Structure 1
Amino acid sequence: MKIEDYKNTLSIHRVPIASLRSEFDSSHFPFETTADLEKLANEMIGQRRAERAMEFGLSVEQDDYNLFVVGPSGTGRKTYTLDSVKKIAKKREVPNDWCYVFNFDNPDRPFVLTLPAGSGQQFQRKIETLLIDIEREFRSTFSSEEYEKRKQGIIDEFRDQTEDLWEAAEDFANEHSFNLERTPTGLNSYPLYNGKPLERKKFEQLSDEVKERIAASEKLVDGKIRETLHQIRKLEEQLEKNLEQFMRESAATSIESLFQPLREAYKDYPKILDYLEAYFHDVVVHFSLFLASEEDDQNNIMSALIGSKEQHFHRYTVNLLVNHKSQKGAPVIYETNPTYNNLFGKIEYRGSLGSWVTDFSYIKPGALQLANGGYLILQATELLEQPYVWSLLKRALQTGTAQIENLFEDRGMVPTSGIKPEPIPLNIKIIIIGSYYLYDLLSAVDDDFHKLFKVKVEFDTVMDRNQENCYKMAMFVKNYAEQEGLLPFHRSAVAKIVDYSSRLVEEQSKLSTRFHEITKLLVESSYWAKKEEAAVVDSSHIEQAISEQINRTNHASEQIREMIQKGSIMVDTEGFRVGQINGLAVLGTRDSVFGIPTKITAQTFAGKSGIMNIDREASLSGQIHNKGLMILTGFLSGEFAKNRPIPLSASITFEQTYSTIDGDSASSTELYVLLSSLAEVPINQGIAVTGSVNQWGEIQPIGGVNEKIEGFFHICRERGLTGGQGVIIPKQNVANLMLDQEVIDAVNLGEFHIWAISHIAEGIELLTGVEAGNIRDESGQYRAGSIFARVEDRFNMMYEAAKANNQ
């Protein structure tokens, strides 16, 4: 190729200066500083799809329309979700309060009661007051004169009946010549003879007939006594029943007036009426506990076993589980630590006689109960890290109930006394925030996921770079600056922020929606502006902040460049070499991504083994890179083996690489070096190459184009720019260029160049200065002296040599 033709080729493919970076014109902003702007309303910038999905998901009332907010961190998904949920929650009604009360029929199964918002606390206080009033009424009733009089009447009646029985027994005994004597120590009976007590001495002197008669009478009298005692015991039992019934009736009568207002107040709540009725009967049955003094309670041995009076009175209290008295609108709970207890609630215990016991008053709510009737927001990562929680959350949504239970009760070292509270009906909307990976994982492994989370709210990482979004970006800058106490930003600074946002997504027509990267730049640029005692942040402060950020994280890239300068890593940036080329790779650390040149070499020789990828043989090549090598074989075979096989053996490798190589961005580079080796045409070492290739030789776009260009530029600049150095990129990647100003300045001065191509033939001409000649003439031949003609000649020689060897 003639020099003039080569220069023309260079000029044709050279990327214009204007295309190396898209710079926003700050004059398009209708403000001087962000202080002149109005605040940004509660909306996301460039997330129209997510906004519509969020609005639908939060507004639809049907079951199982829970939301999964998906997107990368830093896109504002959490902030927007919280703001959106709170906004719609304010328009909804406040949900009911929930209470747990004692189940008088089955203490291990506490009842749940629901009341309108704010009424739960009133109900709790009414029950507390009721308990105090009951005790007061009982003490008043059972110490009254009328009560004592009626009680004494029952006792006197018993005594009269008892006395009648004794008199009848005495009369019976007298009829049989016996006398009955009642003493404090018991009952004595003795025979009478001639109306006088018969002494033992005189009894011995009686005839046997009289003795027998006395014995018979004694037997009859003893039977009468037993009969009388039996009747008296029955009277005593009846007395106890009568007294108990009387006291209970007295108790019931005394407190009836206390319950009646409550029955009237809660007549529309059947479950509360049932509870009050059970409460009433239990209090009447256990009225004696209300009459016992604290001293009696302390001296009572049984209190240690069955619980004190105070502990017993727990059953007459109300456990107000969820209180919405101060709530405005529906509740919104963002649970940052969704452990089982934090999410589903728990049952606490107290120690008693070497074991753990509990009751309904020890039931504590979780986020699920507190957010019932509203919205619960969870982070997917934290949720899935907790054992059993995901499965139990699904069960709650599927059953529509929230069950509070001790999940690990049977695993305790100390015996426990457990309860199983009645489940609470669930009316809640769950919003989970997570990554694309977790969303795809749950979709793949959990059949219930899409049934329960029917609304996907997807946050994108990019948005269009139009006037509207750029203006909203400025409003975001204002909001954040005022929120964090930063200086106002000049419109020139905002323009630089817009450019920086495009650089983050590597596309001139797009902006990044990962605003946490923007906020870091805002904070640091404001810091440098304050340090200079400037009134506003201008473009120079933005540039300084970017420079400082790079300087803090480029230690690894500087080390690699230093090794290249010292020759430890061998990279040529001048001269021509056959079978050697500079490819471009992107490396990354935790907080930095940078490009470096890598020497790629190839050797070609006669044989049948094909292209050997040395890195693959050494297990240092990834699957995508292996695919790229196979594409090279396809291109060469399709181009040069239409009529006969290619007797080719070749080896190709990335020199001085000791870690896994993957990706196909160097496949075009590997094809160039193979063509150079086959055609024995040297490649300009001052030009680095990136881009993938297909089997037709068409160049395809790659990622990290800015970092790759800048990485090679820094190496060339440190060695001294010659004016002939540059980088070849795919034409499609021109839209991704957002290069640093120092690169653009060098290009503008002609010290460095960026070329964009669409086919392998264009690239090989730029690299070698030799015509590619990839178009065959009418006779099917390539143009003599061209790269493709030389390659075909080399293949012909190999083929003939192979034939000769086979003969």
Structure 2
Amino acid sequence: MLDQLHRTTGQERRRRPRASALIAIPAEPALSYNRRPVTAFRKGMALSRIPPADLRWRVDPGRLVDEEATRTAHSATLDRLVNSLSQAVADNSPARGHIFVRGHAASDRGMLLKSGLESIRPPRRELHDYCLVHNFVYPDRPRLLRLPAGSGRKLRAALGEINRFIRDQLESALEARPIRNRLQALSDRSDAEMRRLTGPLEKKLKPHGLVLVREEVGQLVRLTVHVQQTGRVITQDDLANLVAKGQVSPEEFEQIRTVIRDAQPQIRKLTDAINKTWNHAHQLRGRLLRAETRRLLADLAQPVLRQFADPGVKEHIEAIIADVLEKRVDTPTAHLADPELLYSINLVHTAIDDGLNLVHEHAPTPRNLGGTIDPSWLENRRSVASFLGVRGGSLLTANGGFLVIDAEDLLENPRSISLLRNALTNGMIGIEPPPDNSSSPAISLRPEPIPIDARLILCGTQRHWQRLQQEYPEFIGLFAAPIDIPDSIPRDAAGVTWIAARLRDAAERVHSAPISDEAIAALVEQAARMGGRNRLSTRMGDLLTVLRTAAVLAGGPESDHVSAVHVHEAIDRMRPLRPVSSNPHFETSGFPARQHQLGQVHVCGLEPDGDRNYGQLIRIQASLAHAPDTRIAFEGADQAPGSEISIRIESALAHSMRMDKSIGLHALISCGSTSTGTAPRTGGALILGSVLALVSRLSDIPLRQDLAVIGSLDSDCRLTPVEGINARIEDCFQIAQQSQTSGSPGVIIPTIQREELMLRPELIQAVRNDLFQVYAAGNLSQVLEMLTGASPGHWRDGKFTADSMFDRARKRLTAA
């Protein structure tokens, strides 16, 4: 049977349907439809019509006073925020006191947070500078120095002087005359002792023309016998060459070699004795140089040690002196690192004691939050890691204060959430090198963890809070209950003047042309449109966008100030009009002319387009058949509606017709947009339109087509509010204009949303000229009365008014 319904509905879209072709219920005798007098209907429509003055809430520019008393619209929220911030800074545990400020990004979230932070007075607490220094025992584990606030730079400067002395002046200082004289005396005594040892052998060799020569080979001394020939001393190899040339006889050469061989045992003993003497002299030289070096460095370090009583500083200076004495005294130093690099300090964090420490991190990556380790220098074309490459992150920078992060940015970095959770829980941050990087340091450093004492402030929306709760429950456990920032305030005199004052302040910051009171009033009216019923939006980001655009428009040569015209034009540019496009499923598109159709109604849904929403005119048609159970099918929507939609439609029909049992109806609901080619979305508009079309089909009473219905239905068949009421009305008006609809088309809206109306001036003028109308209805019966021109019927004594719409529909359902 449903297949037959599909075929029937397909034919309906190709030609104007007949009422008898749409209903598969056995024909009944025609019922006369007793309409009430036209004058009464027109009177009811007039009462339901919303007058032009009520279509837009207006602000009197002359009453926008700028009083300080009007700047307290958020006083209660600000008090809660200040109280939470004060408790946070007073709490000494880094695992507690963290704050989540919950509100829309364009709201006053940032302004209130700034005001709250300016209002608190942080308690006095001990602040520290944190420095990393080279660990001479375990080079891959840099040591941490904790100094009083402001001492880090002083220590770095003091050590810098010592390090430059070691690099540039130590060698020349050890060559001073007193030290040089003492070294020369040591050398002279060593030479005298060695001459005393070698004297007897030299006398023994001299008659044979032989000379004992002392040669230094590294740390050793070697004795060799040379030959004195023709007034000069030559080696034994040179003497062999002379023999080969015939200048020395072989006999003479052999006698010399015999003497040398006989002297070898004595030469070996003398070599050992001389090496002992030589080494002893060298040791004495090293002791002297190291003693002088220690004295020089100790004199330089003494003022530093007096200034910095920290044991870690003393230990580091002693380690520097020990390393210099071991590696840089009386030994080559070309292969060693620059003393300014090796012996310096890395000031990872400097505490600033000038009020509340506030850090905003706009890119909360693990590197930016926790810090990183960069290569310090190149050695043999290879990057070398050093403690100097350790960089602290914003979490360390915020020590003693607050770190502010946007939750949207943080959720894009899951590793950052884990880093924050561990660091805030433990009160320590361990800085690590970046993972999997081709330029990563050759040595994997693990600096000593650094204490942190920062409070985290996350700014986000309800969606961000829920996502953190679901995905990171341990992290969200660090926060107290979120502080909610409302995105609207009451639309009263205080709220109006407060918004106006904020806008004037913003205009000064934008450096725009002078802004008129009328322009401020237009912006306040835009805040009312954004805020909803009796509310003013505090999404200053959106209002500032309008203000900036208006300022640009006012920048031409014909304008010397920002006017209300510029503001309205800026608003129009932010939401450009869309042309009406045809739908191939319908013969006509746009807003229909004034006529009546059976089982067909027009509603206005909401169609998203990027960051904007547009009203979408939707034509809904109903065809039906009687059956023992209820089954409602749909076609034309963007996705198949679920069973919940069918149940709500059935419930609304049963409630409106006072039926306790199942209505037993097979129906096909066909829908499509007449203003765009986009399939309608399922929702409240589809439910309301389906109920209206089904009642029309069941009662065999056509509905007026030039009125689009806006709203949804609750379980008691009352019209309920919908999102974007102003956009829906304005887009229906635009569609009617572009379609050049004759007569006086209009819309029917929920009565409860009358106070939300903030319609464009051109639409209000069209209402004044009777070219467009806006009606208000409170329930389904009132909507049907406007669409048919007669009351749908009243329930009395167990039945509806005879021959009324509900009476005819109910009889049709109970006929089988």
Shorter-normalised TM range? 0.7 to 0.9
1:222 and 1:744, CA in 2 relative to 1: closer, same or farther beyond 3 A? closer
Does residue 49 of the first structure (1) align with residue 70 of the second (2)?
Answer: no
TM-score computed with the length of structure 2 as normaliser: 0.79
Q: Deviations over 1:624-653 (max 9, x none)?
A: xx5333212123345658576533222112
Residues 94 and 19 (structure 1), Cα distance of their counterparts in 2 relative to 1, 3 Å cut: farther
Deviation readout 1:201-220 (Å, 9 max, x if unpaired) = 9xxxxxxxxxxxxxxxx99x
User: What's the counterpart of residue 301 of structure 2?
Assistant: 259
- Deviation per residue, 1:423-469 (Å, 9 max, x gap): 22112223333343222211111022223333634332211112112
Change (3 A) 1:145 1:673: closer
Alignment of 1:266-665 (within 5 A): 266-267=308-309, 269-288=310-329, 303=334, 306-307=335-336, 311-323=338-350, 328-343=354-369, 344-386=371-413, 388-408=415-435, 412=438, 416-454=442-480, 456-507=482-533, 509-527=534-552, 531=556, 533=558, 536-537=561-562, 541-547=563-569, 549-550=571-572, 553-556=575-578, 558-560=579-581, 568-569=588-589, 571-590=591-610, 592-608=612-628, 610-615=630-635, 620-623=639-642, 627-637=644-654, 642=659, 645-656=662-673, 658-659=678-679, 661-665=681-685
Partner of 1:683: 703
Q: CA deviation at 1:669?
A: 2.5
Is residue 2 of structure 1 aligned with residue 31 of structure 2? no
For 2:708, what is the secondary structure of its paired residue? strand
Structure 2: distance between partners of 1:157 and 1:504:
99
Letter in 2 for 1:115: L
Quote the offset at 1:731 in angstroms. Answer: 2.2
Structure 1 gaps, min length 5: 31-36, 174-178, 189-200, 202-217, 298-302, 800-807
1:782 is matched with: 800
Q: After TM superposition, give the deviation of residue 499 of structure 1 in Å.
A: 1.6
Hey, what's the Cα distance between the residues in 2 that align with 1:53 and 1:446? Answer: 24
Q: What displacement does 1:511 show? A: 0.6
Relative to structure 1, is the Cα distance of residues 485 and 134 closer, same or farther in structure 2, using a 3 angstrom cutoff?
Answer: closer
Aligned to 1:422, what secondary structure does the other structure show? coil
Q: What does 1:7-22 correspond to in 2, within 5 Å?
A: 7-22=42-57
2:98 counterpart (41, 66, 69): 66
Structure 1 length normalisation: TM-score?
A: 0.79
| Residue deviations 1:332-354 (CA, integer Å, cap 9, x gap) | 33233334433313322433224
1:612 and 1:499, CA in 2 relative to 1: closer, same or farther beyond 3 A?
A: same
Supply the AA of the counterpart residue of 1:771.
S
Q: What amino acid maps onto 1:281 in structure 2?
A: A
Q: Which structure carries more helix by proportion?
A: 1
Return the alpha-carbon distance in structure 1 between the equivalents of residues 552 and 167 of structure 2: 69
Shift of 1:101: 2.1
Superposed CA offset, 1:376-415 (max 9, x none): 333333333346333223322223223322122x653788
Distance in 2, matches of 1:40 and 1:485, equals 26
Secondary structure at the aligned position of 1:559 is classed as coil
Task: Give the partner amino acid of 2:162.
Answer: L
Q: Which amino acid aligns with 1:249?
A: A
**1:19 CA drift (Å):** 3.7
CA distance in 1, matches of 2:63, 2:158: 67
Look up the SS of the partner of 1:440 in the other structure. Answer: helix
Q: 1:244 aligns with which of 286, 290, 297?
A: 286
In 2, the alpha carbon distance for the partners of 1:384 and 1:315 equals 40
Work out the number of aligned pairs and report it. Answer: 734
Matched position secondary structure for 1:599: strand
Secondary structure of the residue that 1:333 maps to in structure 2? strand
Q: Give the whole-Å Cα distance in 1 for the aligned partners of 2:510 and 2:67.
A: 16
CA contact (8 A) 1:99 1:114 kept: yes
Q: 1:47 touches 1:463 (CA, 8 Å); kept in 2? A: no
Please give the alpha-carbon distance, in whole angstroms, between the structure 1 residues aligned to 2:558 and 2:224: 113
Paired letter, 2:485: F
Q: Any idea what SS the aligned residue of 1:601 has?
A: strand
Match in the other structure for 1:211? none
**Partners of 1:639 and 1:236 in 2: CA distance:** 119
- Which AA in structure 2 matches 1:252? R
Structure 1, residues 228-283: CA drift from partner, whole Å, max 9, x if none? 7656545544444333233322322333322222221112x121121122222222
Q: 1:69-112 CA deviation, whole Å, 9 max, x = no partner?
A: 33323224345545654675899789433332222222222223
Q: Name the structure 2 match of 1:694.
A: 714
Q: In the alignment, residue 150 of structure 2 is paired with which amino acid?
A: G
Q: d(CA) in 2 for partners of 1:312 and 1:527?
A: 59
Given residue 36 of structure 2, which amino acid in structure 1 is its aligned partner?
K
* Distance in 2 between residues matched to 1:395 and 1:658, nearest whole Å: 49
CA offset at residue 694 of structure 1? 2.9
* Conservation of the 8 A alpha-carbon contact between 1:345 and 1:369: no
Q: CA deviation at 1:140?
A: 6.1
Q: Which moved more, 1:337-346 or 1:742-751?
A: 742-751
> Does the 8 Å contact 1:165/1:228 carry over to 2?
yes
Amino acid at match of 1:396: A
Tell me which residue corresponds to 2:213.
Answer: 184
Q: Which residue of 2 aligns with 1:210?
A: none
When residues 548 and 395 of structure 1 are mapped into structure 2, their CA distance, relative to the original with a 3 A threshold, is closer
Q: Report which stretch shifted further, 661-670 or 597-606.
A: 661-670
SS in 1 for 2:620: strand
CA offsets 1:567-620 (integer angstroms, 9 cap, x no match): 64265231212111111112232354332322111112223463423227x763
Structure 1 residues 470 and 92: CA distance shift in structure 2, 3 A = farther
Contact 2:605–2:617 (8 Å) recurs in 1: yes
In the alignment, structure 2 segments of 5+ residues that lack a partner are: 1-34, 215-222, 226-250, 252-260
The separation in 2 between residues aligned to 1:619 and 1:282, in whole angstroms, is: 77
Distance (whole Å) between structure 2 residues aligned to residue 138 and residue 554 of structure 1? 77
Which residue number in structure 2 is paired with residue 733 of structure 1? 753
**Is the 8 Å Cα contact of residues 632 and 695 (structure 1) preserved in structure 2?**
no
C-alpha displacement of 1:679 = 0.7
- Contact persistence 2:627–2:664 (CA under 8 A): yes
Q: Deviations over 1:152-189 (max 9, x none)?
A: 55556666776787799999x9xxxxx9x98227489x
Considering only aligned residues, what root-mean-square deviation do their CA atoms show, in Å? 4.2
**Which deviates more, 160-169 or 766-775?**
160-169
1:772–1:788 Cα contact (<8 Å) kept: yes
Partner SS, residue 253 of structure 1: helix
Equivalent-residue separation in structure 1 for 2:525 and 2:173 (angstroms): 87
* Larger deviation, residues 365-374 vs 86-95: 86-95
Alignment-mate amino acid for residue 25 of structure 1: D
The amino acid that maps onto 2:789 is G
Q: Which moved more, 1:98-107 or 1:232-241?
A: 232-241
Are residues 1:795 and 2:813 paired?
Answer: yes
Contact 1:521 1:542 in 2 (8 A): no
Structure 2: how far apart are the matches of 1:551 and 1:244? 85
8 A contact 2:367–2:434 mirrored in 1: no
